[in-house]
Amino acid sequence: MISVTSTYLESIPGETFFTKALQSPISFVLGSKIIKQGKLLIFKQAHYYIQITIQNTRNQKETFEIPIPFKTEEYVHEGLIYFDYRVKSLVGKNEELCYRLSKAKIKNTTPSQYYNKILEIKTQLQ
């Protein structure tokens, strides 16, 4: 059984990266597919999500949410950050729990597009 306690985040994961990327072109890549791209206008934490507003390639404002990642790897000077949503990054070195979670059948829900994947966020810093 997994024990979940009250979680408080002092800052948004990738806050330094997003702050430096404001008003810059940014793309969100999942696997080999670009899921969103445009100019980063604003970001904020909304419960267990990061809410992001971009000006897309059609010059329209678009707001979307991405879940708070289990783990991040930040390369600010290269304009790159990875949001890790893999089960193994959630449970660490507990292989039994990792196996049980990856084999668990979640009823009546559709898994998130981020489930067990890494989101790559790239920007061209100005």
Residue 106 scores a pLDDT above 70: no
Which DSSP string corresponds to 34-90? EEEEEEEEEEEEETTEEEEEEEETTS-EEEEEEEPPSEEEEEGGGTEEEEE--HHHH
pTM score: 0.80
Per the CB < 8 A criterion, the answer to whether 72 and 120 are in contact is no
pLDDT value of residue 76: 79
110: pLDDT strictly greater than 70 = no
Q: 124 or 7: which carries more pLDDT confidence?
A: 124
**Looking at per-residue confidence, does 96 or 23 come out higher?**
23
Residue 12 pLDDT more than 70? Answer: yes
Lowest mean pLDDT among 10-14, 45-49, 59-63, 100-104: 100-104
Hey, what domains does the chain have and what are their CATH numbers?
15-105+112-123 (2.30.29)
Confidence grade of residue 109 (pLDDT, cut at 50, 70, 90): low
Type and span of the H or E element at 123: strand 118-123
Span 93-103, average pLDDT = 70
The span from the CA of 39 to the CA of 84, in Å, is 23
Instruction: Look at residue 39 and tell me whether its pLDDT is greater than 70.
Output: yes
